[in-house]
Amino acid sequence: MTAEPVAVPAQPRRRLSKADRHHQLLTTALQVIRTQGADSLTLGHLATSAGVSKPVVYDHFGTRSGLLIDLYRWIDSERIETFRQAMAATSKDREETIACLADAYIRCAADLTGEFHIVGAALAGSPEKADVYVELLDQCVAMFVSVLRPFSDMPEAALDRLCIGLVSAGEGLSAAIVRGKLAEADAIGTFAEIIRGSLGQPRRDALLGK
């Protein structure tokens, strides 16, 4: 006689915290954009894709614009954090740091195929986009300050002002690439020259290898 299989009770699904659920929804939204395009990303479609009810998604984002704004912020924060980690992974001297910073920023800012620009295009006409864009530029300035601080003797306020100018220069060079006015390699080289010249002479302790 064959024994009947014993049914194993299903394990209850762990309830996610609000922060974890928010992260899950953003991750799912990004996957929808990658596989189906930004036009497919609605709150209802996100709920179905994430396996949650519509009220859950509405509670987190309110509107499609709210979802896109949060996604826009999140993608940019992830890009900056990835760059910070890459810079911290190995010790780099002044020239290596300048070259990496120029290359990464120009390539990223001029890449119109990336999710950041796709989400930004989907936000075209949204009144919140301009404010969020300024906020994200401020994050870029903070990143430049942290990366260049070891190679500058400038007071903090002066370095902050310099990095505001550097980010603006990077944006201008990237826009020239998009318009077809400048080759990417030329823009990266020019940006590196601008950063190098703005920092001035290397710090004395850097020259001594300290």
The CATH superfamily assigned to 17-62 is Homeodomain-like (1.10.10.60)
pLDDT for 202 equals: 67
**Total residues belonging to the chain:** 210
- What is the model's pTM? 0.75
For 38, other C-beta atoms within 10 Å of its C-beta total 18
Dist. CA 11–CA 129, nearest whole Å: 43
65-200: what CATH class? mainly alpha
- pLDDT per position in the chain (210 positions), as tens? 444 444 444 444 567 888 999 999 999 999 999 899 999 999 999 999 999 999 999 999 999 999 999 999 998 888 888 887 877 777 789 999 999 999 989 988 888 778 888 888 888 877 788 888 888 889 999 999 999 999 999 999 999 999 999 999 999 999 999 899 999 999 999 999 999 999 987 655 444 444
pLDDT at 129: 81
CA dihedral 65, 66, 69, 70 (to 10 degrees): -150
Domain-by-domain residue ranges, the chain? 17-62, 65-200
Q: What is the pLDDT of residue 8?
A: 40
The pLDDT of residue 78 is: 85
The set of residues, in sequence order, having a beta carbon less than 8 Å from that of 141 and lying 6+ positions away, is 160, 163, 164, 167
Nearest to 120 by CA among 35, 38, 57, 54: 38
